[in-house]
A and B are shown apart, each in its own frame.
Chain A
Amino acid sequence: MFLGISYRLVELQVVEAAQLSEKARTQRSISLEVPANRGDILDRNGEILAMSIEKDTIFATPYFVEDTATTAKELGKIFDEDWEPIYDKLTEGGGFKYLRRKAGRSIAKKIREAALPGIDMYPESERFYPGGTLASHTIGFLGMENNALTGLELVFDKKLRGKAGSLEMERDTQQRPIPGTPLISNPPTHGEDLILTIDKKIQYKAPAELKKAVEDAEAIGGWVIVMDSVSGEVLAMACEPTFDLNKFSQADETLFRNHIVTDVYEPGSTMKIVTAAAALEEGIYVPESVFTLPGTLAIGGYTIGESHPRGPEIFTLSQIVEKSSNIGAITLAQALGKERLYGYAEDFGFTAPVGIELPAEARGMIPMPDDWSASTLATVSYGQGISATALEMIRAVNVIPSGGTLVNPTLIRSGDDSSATSGAINKQGGNGKRVLSRKTAATMSKILQRTVETGTGKRAQIPGFAVGGKTGTAKKVEPGVGYAPGKYISSFVGFTPVEKPGITILVSINEPQGVYYGGVVAAPVFAAVGEYALQRLKITP
């Protein structure tokens, strides 16, 4: 017997000691997760665009509810809703029932005061977007379980989320942690803040002006991008119609689509900038070169004309761009040849994604020169038969004000923390790939300035500032249909001031009714947003 007892003692004290002490520890301890605070999203001036607020989630443990009917009625009063569904929830079985996720302070206070048996709550973080609709497509949002669903919230989820910690404490008989008894403590790593290049006020102004234009043109929507010409920092980016980030669950899912990033469309006449710049860069022509252009041109079985029909006319190269002549662009392209035109389109970034920090970025398409038919050279020269995203288009046009370099748009402010929220636009950027010489870029700037002063973009003028830009009116393509009759995307892409790099803006109106030209429907938005942005950024003429 003595031997038996001794054996058992050795077994308990030595052999199973570690296992048993662990069992004892788990029996008297409770493990709690210490959630990490999600980082805020800030604009370039440190204004909050997205933040997290701790709220209370109210739940029931039906086993512990004493008087179900009374409890349900009491909860109904607190929640200001019918008590019967609550009663059903409390009686349908199960050990845990959500009653109200992320409840407000007043409800949580009432629940605390009521002290109903079986009803309890725990803190849960809720994302709050103070701007509501402000930059909704860019910022994105989180689901009910705080899982990132779209936008920057999704792309930078790891950085913003941080890492939850844990805390193990001794517990009492009612499973409550005993204060001051931490056994193991792993503090959480809080999420980092994300500083954007967005300027909150320009971001407010741009969609407000866009919305007016969309309503005036009875269009189905539109989009606008405002970008620093040198650094590529996006100051504002918005789609219309939009949705409130705080009520995204009530919005139509089609509104979540960020057309700027996910949609491709024909650049239209905006492409003439590339064609003309290539002809100048190659030294084939000068701005004053004269062309006698027919009213129509028959190529590859198609007859191509101008958007505003005319007879034979004499144009200079400058006028081809200013008056947006299709025949003129074809003439320049024929002088360049398909290999060189494709090469320049590639250099202007039409075949490569921008790499913006947003999910699901689409990429434009230009057929390889070997696949070009007789008419492809002609259509490519004035922006048909190819596709690009709005971001690719603004990047391409921005080659001119940036002095000939291809600068990728970005949404994330770089630099150390002290300079990150200084708000000033970055004049140190512009380290992109060189596409044009400074001389050609300056010449194109002047041509595009005349386009606004005397050509198709007159409504983009800003008092006191020189503006350069190009209109674009592209036919919409529908799968299986081809060009959809009467459906256009009307754009204006421009920059200001012309003398020194400042801001580049793209405005597109989707399916305007009535007068649909980019110079009519989109250019006024450019002028209004540009004027505001110049004053806001204290850019002088």
Chain B
Amino acid sequence: MQAARQIFPEFQELVLDFPARQAVSKPAARPRFTFNKVFIALTIVAFACFAHMSQRMLIAQNGIDIDRLKSQIKAEERDAQILNAKATSLKSPGRIERLAGRLDMVKPDGVTFIEVPSQPLDPASSSAGLARGATSLSRPAVLGRLVAKLSFLVN
């Protein structure tokens, strides 16, 4: 361009005289604007993709963690089941009796039922009994209480 101006000075004028505002300014401004918009859009898209990927990764990672926790829960549940089964086996009456036999333990005496006379108590002992909060009991009621008290022998 420089060389052309030296050879043809009128070319410079020509160029200068040329309505430069029309030719130079408008076409240059439009591509820059479009590029900026595209750049911003691409950046947003990239960020969105990145965010999406991060989310996906996070979800996948959480999925793996959940899966691992589920496996752990299942393993713990399994252990609990086995412990429960063991506890139930240990409580088995047959096992307890076998162990008791091995330890030379003896069976408790059978329940003894005491027959209480149904006559009213003599006034002296009656008033003493009432003073302690006792009440006069019929024979079945006394026997009932005795059975209830002695029932620990079999439970």
B82 and A105: CB pair below 8 A?
A: yes
Residue of B with least CB distance to A179: B67
B46: interface (CB < 8 Å): no
How far is A103 from B112 in the complex, measured between Cα atoms in Å? Answer: 51
Q: Mark contacts of B60-89 with chain A using CB atoms, 8 A cut-off: 1 yes-contact digit, 0 otherwise.
A: 101110111000001000100110110011
Residues of A within 8 A of B153 (CB): 535
B51: interface (CB < 8 Å): no
How far is A536 from B74 in the complex, measured between Cα atoms in Å? Answer: 38
B154 and A48: CB pair below 8 A?
A: no
Q: Mark contacts of A173-189 with chain B using CB atoms, 8 A cut-off: 1 yes-contact digit, 0 otherwise.
A: 00000111100000000
A128: interface (CB < 8 Å): yes
* Interface class of chain A by DSSP: mixed
A535 and B150: CB pair below 8 A?
A: yes
Residues of A within 8 A of B66 (CB): 179-180
Write the nearest CB–CB distance from A329 to chain B, whole angstroms. Answer: 35
Known A-B contacts A53-B82, A463-B113, A535-B154; the reply to A540 vs B140 at CB < 8 A is yes
Residues of A within 8 A of B84 (CB): 48, 51
How far is A54 from B88 in the complex, measured between Cα atoms in Å? Answer: 16
A541 and B144: CB pair below 8 A?
A: yes
* Interface class of chain B by DSSP: helix
> Which of B67, B143, B155 contacts A180 (CB under 8 A)?
B67
B81 and A463: CB pair below 8 A?
A: no
How far is A54 from B68 in the complex, measured between Cα atoms in Å? Answer: 18
How far is A43 from B151 in the complex, measured between Cα atoms in Å? Answer: 20
Tell which of B22-30, B91-99, B117-125 binds the partner. B91-99
> Which of A130, A178, A540 contacts B92 (CB under 8 A)?
A130
Residues of A within 8 A of B60 (CB): 179-180
How far is A405 from B66 in the complex, measured between Cα atoms in Å? Answer: 60
> Which of B68, B88, B112 contacts A130 (CB under 8 A)?
B88
Write the nearest CB–CB distance from B70 to chain A, whole angstroms. Answer: 9
Residues of B within 8 A of A532 (CB): 154
Residue of A with least CB distance to B143: A541
B16: interface (CB < 8 Å): no
Q: How large is the interface on B (under 10, 10 to 19, 20 to 34, 35 or more residues)?
A: 20 to 34
A310: interface (CB < 8 Å): no
> Which of A53, A134, A179 contacts B94 (CB under 8 A)?
A134
B148 and A538: CB pair below 8 A?
A: yes
B147: interface (CB < 8 Å): yes
Residues of B within 8 A of A201 (CB): 93, 154
A248: interface (CB < 8 Å): no
Residue of A with least CB distance to B154: A535
CB within 8 Å of B: which A494-541 residues: 531-532, 534-536, 538-541
A535 and B151: CB pair below 8 A?
A: yes
Residues of B within 8 A of A540 (CB): 140, 143-144, 147-148
B85 and A51: CB pair below 8 A?
A: yes
Residue of B with least CB distance to A500: B140
A51 and B88: CB pair below 8 A?
A: yes
Residue of A with least CB distance to B75: A54
Residue of A with least CB distance to B62: A180
Residues of A within 8 A of B45 (CB): none
Residues of B within 8 A of A538 (CB): 147-148, 151
A204: interface (CB < 8 Å): yes
A470: interface (CB < 8 Å): no
Write the nearest CB–CB distance from B98 to chain A, whole angstroms. Answer: 11
Residue of B with least CB distance to A463: B113
Residues of B within 8 A of A178 (CB): 63
How far is A105 from B81 in the complex, measured between Cα atoms in Å? Answer: 12
B85 and A179: CB pair below 8 A?
A: no
How far is A496 from B74 in the complex, measured between Cα atoms in Å? Answer: 49
Residues of A within 8 A of B85 (CB): 51, 53, 128, 130
Write the nearest CB–CB distance from B68 to chain A, whole angstroms. Answer: 8
B111: interface (CB < 8 Å): yes
Q: Mark contacts of B119-155 with chain A using CB atoms, 8 A cut-off: 1 yes-contact digit, 0 otherwise.
A: 0000000000000000000001001100110110111
A541 and B94: CB pair below 8 A?
A: no
B31: interface (CB < 8 Å): no
A54 and B113: CB pair below 8 A?
A: no
A131 and B140: CB pair below 8 A?
A: no
Residue of B with least CB distance to A497: B140
> Which of B74, B81, B140 contacts A53 (CB under 8 A)?
B81
Binding site for A on B (CB under 8 A): 59-60, 62-64, 66-68, 74, 78, 81-82, 84-85, 88-89, 91-94, 110-113, 140, 143-144, 147-148, 150-151, 153-155
Q: List 17 A-B contacts (CB under 8 A).
A: A47-B91, A52-B81, A53-B82, A53-B85, A131-B92, A131-B94, A178-B63, A180-B62, A181-B63, A201-B93, A201-B154, A204-B94, A463-B110, A535-B150, A535-B154, A538-B148, A541-B143
Smallest CB-CB A-B distances: 5 pairs: A180-B63, A540-B144, A464-B113, A179-B67, A130-B88
Given A54-B74, A180-B63, 16 more pairs with CB closer than 8 A: A48-B88, A131-B92, A132-B92, A179-B63, A179-B66, A179-B67, A180-B59, A180-B60, A464-B111, A464-B147, A535-B111, A535-B147, A535-B151, A540-B140, A541-B143, A541-B147
